[in-house]
Amino acid sequence: MDLSQIRISPFSSKDAIHNFRCGESDIDRWVSKAPKWSEQNKARLFLAHGQGNSKAMGFYSLSFSSEDRNKLAGKRDRQMWGSGVPLIYLQYLAVQRTCQNCGLGKMLLVDSLRRAHLVSKHVAFYGVGLRSLNDRTTALYSKYGFAVAPDEDKFPLMILPIWSINDLFEGRT
């Protein structure tokens, strides 16, 4: 797959996600209802597609969430925040089965973080959160600096603070 030919655009048509299959039936079911989530303002979806072809090869979805401050790793951060810690929540990230293992998942993840970075210039929040599905996805997110929150077990909450995202896009790594 030539990733330079892939575009990532906001969800705009039901046809684009028709028959999307990533191998996780919960995710496939969820994305089939994308028009509803968009209309209800519950999530914003962004689709990866080829140039001149709107069919989704992958997608991610973003919303806001609030977590307990005990989920923050650092003592100083826990002291700084009140009861609800605002996060941009990467609710789902998935790649069409036939397009997996070609780098598209990583491309979508970086794009979602770039979008969070942009939002942070306008609205303040602590960082990006997500729930990891399995050990391989935990390894993938860890590579980008996400850390598993304290006292998490199955589908662990992972958090990447905004300063790490700034470092990623402002060349301070």
Ligand X SMILES: CC(C)(COP(=O)(O)OP(=O)(O)OC[C@H]1O[C@@H](n2cnc3c(N)ncnc32)[C@H](O)[C@@H]1OP(=O)(O)O)[C@@H](O)C(=O)NCCC(=O)NCCS
Residue number with CB closer to ligand X (134 or 163): 134
Q: Quick check: 78 binds ligand X (CB under 6 A)?
A: no
Q: Quick check: 38 binds ligand X (CB under 6 A)?
A: no
Q: Quick check: 43 binds ligand X (CB under 6 A)?
A: no
Name the one range near ligand X by CB under 6 A: 4-12, 21-29, 146-154, 165-173: 21-29
* CB 59, min distance to ligand X, A: 9
Q: Quick check: 110 binds ligand X (CB under 6 A)?
A: no
Residue with the shortest CB distance to ligand X: 105
Length of the chain in terms of residues written: 173
Nearest to 125, CA basis, from 95, 86, 170: 86
Q: Compose the 90-109 pattern: x for residues touching ligand X by CB under 6 A, - for all others.
A: ---xxx----xxxxxxx---
* Binding-site member from 16, 27, 149, 157 for ligand X (CB under 6 A): 27
Q: Which residues contact 111 (CB under 8 A, 6 or more apart)?
A: 8, 46, 60
Compute the distance between CA of residue 114 and CA of residue 116 in angstroms, rounded to an integer. Answer: 5
Residue number with CB closer to ligand X (119 or 140): 140
- Applying CB under 6 A, the residues found at the interface with ligand X are 22-24, 27, 93-95, 100-106, 132-134, 136-137, 139-140
